[in-house]
Chain A
Amino acid sequence: MSSPIDPPGTDSANARFPEDSVGLVTPQRMVFDAPLELEGGKRLERYELVYETYGTLNHDRSNAILVCHALSGDHHAAGYHAPDDRKPGWWDVCIGPGKPFDTRKFFVVSLNNLGSCKGSTGPNSLNPETGVSFGPDFPIVTVGDWVNSQRRLGERLGIRQWAAIAGGSLGGMQVMQWAIHHSEAVRHALIIAATPKLSAQNIAFNEVARQAILSDPDFHDGRYEERGVIPRRGLMLARMLGHITYLSEDAMRERFGRELRAGRIQYGFDVEFQVESYLRHQGTSFVDRFDANTYLLMTKALDYFDPAQAFDGSLAEAFKASRSRFLVASFTSDWRFSSARSREIVNALMEVRKPVCYADIRSTQGHDDFLMPNPEYLAVLHAYMQRVAAELAA
């Protein structure tokens, strides 16, 4: 390996894209042959991680930012895969030249986590032991397992310490895991729209989503691929349910109200209200781009996350030895992981006198606000990342 980093597949010269876009990007793949011991007791003999990079790693390799994705996310956080792509990556509002994660200053790495269906090793990958895809035999992976795999990716990229690690929702939990267990490798931890652990209500929603999948007759104990079918109905229902929790009530009211598709009540069980049509669309389109076994795995990783557990239930104790500096952000309209949950994180950090900034962003959309171009949100991220950038120059 001559240089650990190939110049990222960005093409800013491409005039078709907005000026503050990273432009065309090409996902990369890294193979790991050393076995990864998993928290659940099993191990992955070898695995692959797919990732994208934006910007350029500086000479002393100090300007790298790791981006961690949420439940249904992937490595494609910014830019476009093809000139005619309709939408950019999922965090494009934050990543690019002049954006909070300024690719003129920082080298951003965004990976796809283990267990996903988006390219990294997961249930759809070939199980070397059986010669067919893992399916339901893919081991349950935790946030801790993800972070361990991410550490190896960082090592291979030659990054000993990340300038920042950032993520929203389940991504924010990975950031927390990093900052608690590997803080020597994390200068700044950006924990956005996250929670120190799921509430019973959160787990309950996940369980209903899982039951929707597990009870689909086409699920076949997860071996649906061998049967040539897809548990469409179950996965669709799971996504519909999840989507309700991602949006605020106000956002739903504003977008759909009680508007009727046909203009009047039909007295039947077909789609009548616009919100029903929207949810069904969200559900069906999700089936085309996601996998049921992966959905089960991801919700389990969420449920199990509880970094305070190893510290007698004290989150403050968990953070006590951390050497990272923190930015925590929540959104006022998020009811899935409400501001109160972020304040638990902030209070624990303050209790043990850790450097932390906290912004409770006024918002309307709900949990999904961390993906939105909310000016207050971007201003806070921008101000914080300027601090991070200033340290690089120093």
Chain B
Amino acid sequence: MSPLRPDLEFISHWVQPRTHVLDLGCGDGTLMRHLQETRQVTGYGLEIDPGNVVKSTAAGIQVIQMDIDQGLDAFADQSFDYVILTQALQVVRHPDRLLAEMLRIGRKGIVTFPNFGYWRSRMQIAWRGRMPVSETLPDAWYDTPNIHLCTVKDFEALCRQQGYRVLSRQVVDAAHHGNRLMSQLPNLLGEIALYSLTAGHRRGAALNKTQFALE
């Protein structure tokens, strides 16, 4: 296997060994496989794409073919230690409800997304007057799967509004490297943002499954 993407490496540092993990949109299974091998985790990857289901199966992970936009009400409250969503928050229909579901199902949520506040994105809109296209956001506006892009500030505003607690934050560039300056100006210099969250005090237990059903 090729070396792990650095953002996935960051994530795996946040995952304690021998825990139970749900990876939403697990792709070809790279992250789950890495977590299984290096952290001895158990758990499942959810994936909708048939080709990725085959790849994940071949990768030796437990992949469940399903559409996370159809809701996660099959999963019980607090039934996983971590629920992970990498680079998919912006493609789901209801990111806010999905976050709530993640923190209902998991004790912790780990989320990564492309930061729309990244200075190059701002430049493309401000100076060129065009929708940003970059390594992280490669698609044209009319055929992008990214329907809910947000900035670091937007995301943190949502967390505050919902009462979620940010346990860790990391921003990196497209090559998934971070530095001190970037962490001081995350919304301007970070191209990809990574968060570890929990539902606020006692909130996890109070979340109502049906209230947050995604459909």
Q: Nearest Cβ distance between residue B91 and chain A, in whole angstroms?
A: 19
**Residues of B close to A384: CB separation below 8 A:** 57
Size class of A's contact patch? 20 to 34
Are A383 and B57 in contact (CB-based, < 8 A)?
Answer: yes
Chain B interface residue count, CB cutoff 8 Å, equals 20
Over the window 116-133 of chain A, the binary record of Cβ atoms lying under 8 Å from chain B Cβ atoms (1 yes, 0 no) is 000000000000000000
Asked if A72 is at the interface (CB within 8 A of a chain B CB), the reply is no
Contact of A353 among B20, B53, B57 (CB under 8 A): B20
Are B62 and A356 in contact (CB-based, < 8 A)?
Answer: yes
Stretch at the interface among A41-49, A212-220, A288-296, A357-365: A357-365
**Residues of B close to A360: CB separation below 8 A:** 65-66
Are A346 and B54 in contact (CB-based, < 8 A)?
Answer: no
Are A380 and B53 in contact (CB-based, < 8 A)?
Answer: yes
Asked if B90 is at the interface (CB within 8 A of a chain A CB), the reply is no
**Residues of A close to B163: CB separation below 8 A:** none
Q: Nearest Cβ distance between residue B181 and chain A, in whole angstroms?
A: 43
Are A362 and B74 in contact (CB-based, < 8 A)?
Answer: no
Contact of A346 among B53, B55, B56, B64 (CB under 8 A): B64
Asked if A343 is at the interface (CB within 8 A of a chain B CB), the reply is yes
How far is A347 from B46 in the complex, measured between Cα atoms in Å? 12
Over the window 33-68 of chain B, the binary record of Cβ atoms lying under 8 Å from chain A Cβ atoms (1 yes, 0 no) is 000000000101000001001111110101111100
How far is A135 from B62 in the complex, measured between Cα atoms in Å? 46
**Residues of A close to B20: CB separation below 8 A:** 353
How far is A356 from B49 in the complex, measured between Cα atoms in Å? 17
**Residues of B close to A355: CB separation below 8 A:** 42, 62
How far is A355 from B55 in the complex, measured between Cα atoms in Å? 17
Over the window 350-394 of chain A, the binary record of Cβ atoms lying under 8 Å from chain B Cβ atoms (1 yes, 0 no) is 110101111111100000000000001001100110110000000
How far is A387 from B33 in the complex, measured between Cα atoms in Å? 13
How far is A362 from B65 in the complex, measured between Cα atoms in Å? 11
Q: A351 with B58: in contact, given A356-B64, A360-B65 (CB under 8 Å)?
A: no
Q: A358 with B65: in contact, given A343-B74, A383-B58 (CB under 8 Å)?
A: yes
How far is A358 from B63 in the complex, measured between Cα atoms in Å? 6
**Residues of A close to B55: CB separation below 8 A:** 383
How far is A74 from B62 in the complex, measured between Cα atoms in Å? 32
Q: Nearest Cβ distance between residue A329 and chain B, in whole angstroms?
A: 9
By beta carbon, the residue of chain B nearest A350 is B44
Contact of A358 among B42, B50, B64, B79 (CB under 8 A): B64
How far is A347 from B76 in the complex, measured between Cα atoms in Å? 10
Are A387 and B64 in contact (CB-based, < 8 A)?
Answer: no
Asked if B75 is at the interface (CB within 8 A of a chain A CB), the reply is yes
Q: Nearest Cβ distance between residue B187 and chain A, in whole angstroms?
A: 37
By beta carbon, the residue of chain A nearest B46 is A358
How far is A356 from B79 in the complex, measured between Cα atoms in Å? 16
- Supply 29 A–B pairs (Cβ within 8 Å), ascending by A: A343-B66, A343-B74, A350-B75, A351-B76, A351-B79, A353-B20, A353-B42, A355-B62, A356-B44, A356-B62, A357-B62, A357-B63, A358-B63, A358-B65, A358-B66, A359-B50, A359-B53, A359-B57, A362-B50, A376-B54, A379-B54, A380-B57, A383-B54, A383-B55, A383-B58, A384-B57, A387-B57, A387-B58, A387-B60
Besides the contacts A346-B64, A376-B54, what 4 more A-B pairs have beta carbons closer than 8 Å? A355-B42, A357-B56, A360-B66, A383-B54
B: residues with CB less than 8 A from A are 20, 42, 44, 50, 53-58, 60, 62-66, 74-76, 79
A: residues with CB less than 8 A from B are 343, 346-347, 350-351, 353, 355-362, 376, 379-380, 383-384, 386-387
Q: Which 5 A-B pairs have the closest CB atoms?
A: A383-B57, A383-B58, A358-B64, A379-B54, A347-B74
